[in-house]
């Protein structure tokens, strides 16, 4: 938030959007890249599941912070 707001001098809406996008999970790309390597699939799918679950918390916290400022 500070980098976008103070260093790059982004408008507040743009800085907020950048923060929210950064707080989102990586999505399916990690899993799709792991498909050719059978041993990596369970780890990749666990990573996607974990980060998606954690994103619920982090996005909520960032939304609360951004709406307060």
Which long-range contacts link 28-34 to residues 24+ away (Cβ below 8 Å)? none
Average pLDDT value over all residues in the chain: 88
pLDDT above 90 covers a percentage of the chain that reads 26
The tens digit of pLDDT for each residue in 31-44 reads 888 899 999 899 98
Measure CA of the first residue to CA of the last residue in the chain; give whole Å: 11
- At residue 25, φ and ψ (nearest 5 deg) are -70, 165
Q: Against a cut of 0.85, is the pTM above it? A: no
Q: What is the mean pLDDT of residues 16-44?
A: 87
């Amino acid at each position: 938030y500070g980098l976008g707001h103070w260093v790059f001098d982004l408008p507040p809406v743009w800085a907020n959007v950048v923060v929210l996008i950064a707080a989102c999970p990586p999505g399916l790309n990690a899993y799709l890249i792991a498909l050719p390597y059978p041993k990596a699939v369970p780890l990749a799918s666990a990573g996607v599941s974990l980060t998606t679950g954690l994103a619920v918390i982090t996005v909520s916290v960032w939304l609360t912070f951004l709406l307060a400022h």
